[in-house]
Structure 1
Amino acid sequence: MHPTLARVVVRRGPFPRVLTGCVLALTAASGRPALAADWYTGAETAGAQDSWIVSVDTSTTVSSQGSQFAGATATAAPAGTLLTSGLRLRADATIGSYRAGTGLGQQAEVAAMVGYGWVWPEAVLSAFVGLNVRRNEMPGLEASLRNAGGLKAALDLYARPTPGTMVHATGTYSSTFNAYYGRLRGGVAVMGGFLGPEVALLGDDYYRQWRIGAHWSGFQVGALQFGVAAGYLHDQTRKGGLYTTVDMRAGF
């Protein structure tokens, strides 16, 4: 979802990210000013928040089309904390499967990137670039084309225009199979989280899909933040269907 949008999901052919980046945010119900930097810190006390140097975002998406993806992203601030502007390091991993014609396509990816995060009172912008290795297996794809490596870039924006609203946009692109992923969400504070619409586009040289739905994200369960989303999707192979996404975020 955010910030380092790394996040999960991410995102990279037909898989979830996040943001990408999993997309979780705090609500005004936390009892203190809800700023964009909260995305990095969760609903902890100020002292605990200041010590956060690593965030871990996971995301899982399943659909009625027979596709399922899981991803994880770890983002670190090696020269400070995630509450301050500075250098960022990020590692992504994704695995999943999807229906491709009459067969089953499978996909896996790992990536390592370096970037920078700009932190303001109402917004966080992060940009990354690095290397990835990707494996695509699908009917008719030659063995020599299944494994490839290349460059990957990611951009993530999380903003809190007011204490009761949020906007999150994340996107990734990889030269490996021309894989891309983008997710845009907005919301208002409702019942301890943020409720609102979301849209997403994802695909690569062999697969394309778009989604439109609703999310409720940023609600706290113990030391973790969670988010859920559901809606309608359309892909080039099996056409229309339904999807569900579950995001989770932790920090250290």
Structure 2
Amino acid sequence: MKAVARPFSAQTPAPLPARRSKFLLAAALWIVQAQAAGAADWYTGDKTTEPDYAPTVLLDASGSATTTQSVFGAAAVTGAIDGDFRQNGFRFRVEGVAGTYNYFTTLPAVAPATVGVRKKIYADQEDGGVLGGYGWVMRNWSFALFGGMELSNTTLSYPDPNNPTAGFSIGAKIAGEFYGNPTPNTMLSGYGSFSTNNSEYYSRIKAGYRIWGNVFIGPEFLALGNRFYSEYRAGVHLTGLTIGRLAFGLSGGATSSRVTGSGGYALLDAQLAF
């Protein structure tokens, strides 16, 4: 009787060469997948501590305070319009800033007085903007530029002719930012903005050295002001602390302002990715 060959089934073991081929094929696929995942790890930094995901929305919040009684808080929502933050593309941003500061000023003399009156002024400031822009992403660096409209309002506790920023205004705003790792153990980041509302500007630059995981420590420098005041800050930052998808940093140092005087500052910022 002629033997009939049966096809291999789940119950019939494959010959050794076939099983070896399947094993080699599976190993090759695993290696390809591992290499593909590793190619994207540059975005999330240290791949042993950071999740591998591609955010499309970033929520940023920060708060700062000085010993000269200046307190400000800011929040911004940035979204990737086409794709995610791992790739080049258009972005949008909605942001807001609110805070208070105080200073002493000499009011003009009122007849029959011949000497002006020195008075303490309390100021409340609110800014809000809607911006659009574009981001460029490279292996170790990312850059973004934004432009749009900003609303600004400053209220004084007492009329001060020396402070031209009082009142409400609508203007244009531009901003730019970058983040990079010049070497595997260093980081460099910066942000700068300018608004036609009272010629308001803000800039911050940080350099850091990796101390563990994706956490960096190093110096920072800030310059901010408008038509009424200018302020400079220099200190030390700790950046890259994480809790899940929440990343945050701490910094503090010395501040000097020609309006509010010299003192110290502390700053907390956080970012949540979706």
TM range (shorter): 0.7 to 0.9
Q: Secondary structure at the match of 1:194?
A: strand
Distance 1:179 1:60 in 2: 18
- Give the match for residue 266 of structure 2: 244
Q: Describe the shift of the 1:188–1:133 C-alpha distance in structure 2 as closer, same or farther (beyond 3 A).
A: same
CA gap of 1:89–1:236, structure 2 versus 1, over 3 A, is same
Structure 1: 4+ residue segments shifted above 2 A: 31-35, 43-46, 138-145
Partner of 2:233: 211
Question: How many equivalent pairs are there?
Answer: 216
What secondary structure does 2:178 align onto? strand
Deviation track 1:94-153 (CA, whole Å, cap 9, x = no partner) reads 000111221111100110000000000010010000000000123435799510011000
Q: Could you tell me which residue of structure 1 aligns to residue 180 of structure 2?
A: 159
Classify 1:68/1:34 alpha carbon distance in 2 versus 1 (closer, same or farther; 3 Å).
farther
- Deviation, structure 1 residue 38: 3.1
Q: Equivalent residue for 1:230?
A: 252
Deviates more, 1:121-130 or 1:218-227: 218-227
Residue 187 of structure 1 pairs with residue 205 of structure 2: no
- Of the three residues 51, 55, 60, the one matched with 2:58 is 55
Alignment partner of 1:91 is 2:94: yes
- Closer, same or farther in 2 for the Cα pair 1:144/1:162, shift >3 Å? closer
CA contact under 8 A between 1:54 and 1:76: conserved in structure 2?
yes
Query: Is 2:81 the partner of 1:78?
Result: yes
**Any conservation in 1 of the 2:44–2:51 contact (CA below 8 Å)?**
no
Query: Which of 150, 159, 162 is the matching residue for 1:140?
Result: 159
Report the Cα distance in structure 2 between the residues aligned to 1:67 and 1:38, rounded to whole angstroms: 35
- Alignment gaps of 5+ in structure 1: 1-30
Gaps of 5+ in 2: 1-37, 105-119
Computing the radius of gyration from Cα coordinates, the structure with the larger value is 2
* Alpha-carbon distance in structure 1 between the residues aligned to 2:41 and 2:235: 25
Matched, 1:171 2:189: no
| Aligned-pair identity (%) | 28
Distance change >3 Å, CA 249–CA 175, structure 1 → 2: same
**1:218 is aligned with what amino acid?**
G
Q: What is the Cα deviation at residue 206 of structure 1?
A: 1.6
Task: Give the Cα–Cα distance (whole angstroms) in 1 for the partners of residues 181 and 40 of structure 2.
Answer: 11
Higher relative contact order at CA 8 Å, sep ≥6: structure 1 or structure 2? 1
Residue type at the aligned position of 1:53: T
Give the Å deviation of 1:57. Answer: 0.8
